[in-house]
Copies of this chain bind each other. A is one copy, B any other.
Amino acid sequence: MWHAPRDVRWEERPDPVVQLPTDAVVRVVAACVCGSDLWTYRGARPPADPHPIGHEFVGVVEEIGAGVTTVKEGDFVVSPFSISDGTCVHCRQGITTSCVQAQWYGGTDPDGRTLDGGQGRYVRVPLADGTLVATPGLPDTKQIPALLALSDVLVTGHHAAVSAGVGPGRTVAVVGDGAVGLCAVLAAVRLGAERVIAFSSHTDRQEVATGFGASDIISERGDEGAAALRDLLGDLGADAVLECVGTSESMAQALASVRPGGAVGYVGVPLGGAELPIKQMFGANIRVAGGVAPVRPYLPELLAEVLAGTLDASAVFDLQLPMDRVAEAYAAMDERRSIKTLLWP
C-alpha cells in the first residue's frame, strides 16, 4: 500500500473474491517493482488515501467468474500491466492499452471499485479473458523471473524496438540503462540488429547490457554521449534510438543520436514539461514512435521463446526479497542500489 511519498507498507487486506463474471482471482507467484512505480513512490501525485500499488506479476488462477473461458483454476498466468477486454475496436487493432474498457492495477474501475495492486498475495483481475495469458503447463520455479519480465519490462523494451523499426542490419542505440533500457538491448539483439550500442555509466548495468548482446557501451551522456556515438559510427547517427527514460534530457539525447531519416522508439513515461521539438524532427526527417506498451498482443510470440529458454531477461532482477520487505525493494531501486527488485510472496 502506498501511503505517502517514500512510504510504501506491507499490510493485511481482505483476500479478493470474484466480483464480476469476467473476473479471475490470481494467487501471485512473483511480482516486482516498476520504474514507473518509483515516480509514484517519489510523490509526483500524492494519494488522497492509501491505495494498492504494483502492476507486474505472474501467478496461478485461484477462482474464475462464470463468464471466463480462456483461463481456468490452476493455470499459471502472465498478466500484462494493463487490463483490456481484447474485443473492442482498439484491442482488435492491437492497442490494448487504449481499450475502451481499459483498467489499471491499483486504480479504480468505472463503477468505483478499487483494483488490487500487483504487489500482493492475491489479485482480482477484471476482464480476465482479454488480459491474462496462460502457459501450457506449470513452469519450473527457475523460469519464474523470466516469465515475470513478460508482464511489463521485457515487452516494453521490445515495443520500443518494434516501434523504431529495428531489424536485421540496423544500428541501434539505447538511451537509459534501467531495466527497460536493458531489455530494449535484448529486444534489439533478438530482432537481428547489426550493432546495439548501450549508453550506460554504471559498471553493473554495462555488464547486463553486454550479457544481453550489446556490441558497444558509451558511458558519456547528453550531447557528449551523442558525439561519442557519431565517432563510433563514422559521423552518422544510429538508424534507431530507443528512449527508455522519459525525461526531456533523455529524449534530447535520443534525438541528437539518431541519423537523418532514422527513428526514435520511446517507451519512457514522459514526465511533465517535455514536448517534442518538431522543427528538429522536420529538418532531419526523424520519426518518433512508441508509447505505453500494449503488452498483451506481443505475449504469445515472446512467451513461447521464454518457455523454450531462448529469451531470458531475468538478469535485470539483481535483488530478490520476500514481499513483506516491499518497502526495502522500493528504497533499493530509488537509491539505484538495485536495477529491478523481484518480490516473492
Residue of B163, B261, B277, B283 touching A287 (CB-CB under 8 A)? B163
Q: How many copies does the complex hold?
A: 2
Q: Which residues of B contact A263 (CB under 8 A)?
A: 289
Q: Which residues of B contact A291 (CB under 8 A)?
A: 281-286
Check: A51 CB closer than 8 A to any chain B CB: no
Q: Which residues of B contact A279 (CB under 8 A)?
A: 270
Bound form: Cα–Cα A93–B263 in Å: 13
Which one of A236, A282, A284, A294 has the greatest number of beta carbons of chain B within 10 Å?
Answer: A282
Residue of B93, B282, B294 touching A259 (CB-CB under 8 A)? B93
Residue of B89, B266, B274, B289 touching A289 (CB-CB under 8 A)? B289
Residue on B with the closest CB to A277?
Answer: B275
Bound form: Cα–Cα A276–B73 in Å: 46
A289, chain B: closest CB distance, angstroms: 3
Q: Mark A252-291, 1 if CB is under 8 A from B, else 0.
A: 0000000111010010011000111111011111111111
Q: Is the CB of A287 within 8 A of B285?
A: no
Check: A292 CB closer than 8 A to any chain B CB: yes
Q: Which residues of B contact A72 (CB under 8 A)?
A: none
Bound form: Cα–Cα A94–B259 in Å: 11
Bound form: Cα–Cα A275–B294 in Å: 25
Bound form: Cα–Cα A327–B234 in Å: 47
Residue of B98, B284, B288 touching A281 (CB-CB under 8 A)? B288
Q: Is the CB of B285 within 8 A of A290?
A: yes
Check: A221 CB closer than 8 A to any chain B CB: no
Q: Is the CB of B285 within 8 A of A292?
A: yes
Bound form: Cα–Cα A94–B285 in Å: 11
Q: Mark A56-93, 1 if CB is under 8 A from B, else 0.
A: 00000000000000000000000000000000011001
A-side residues, CB < 8 A to B, are 89-90, 93-95, 97-98, 163, 234-236, 251, 259-261, 263, 266, 269-270, 274-279, 281-292, 294
**Nearest 4 Cβ contacts at the A-B interface:** A287-B289, A98-B260, A285-B291, A275-B275
List, sorted by A's number, 29 A–B pairs whose CB atoms are closer than 8 Å.
A89-B234, A90-B261, A93-B260, A97-B260, A97-B283, A97-B285, A98-B260, A98-B261, A98-B283, A98-B284, A163-B285, A163-B287, A266-B278, A266-B282, A269-B282, A270-B279, A275-B275, A275-B278, A276-B288, A278-B288, A282-B290, A283-B291, A285-B290, A285-B292, A287-B287, A287-B288, A287-B289, A287-B290, A289-B289
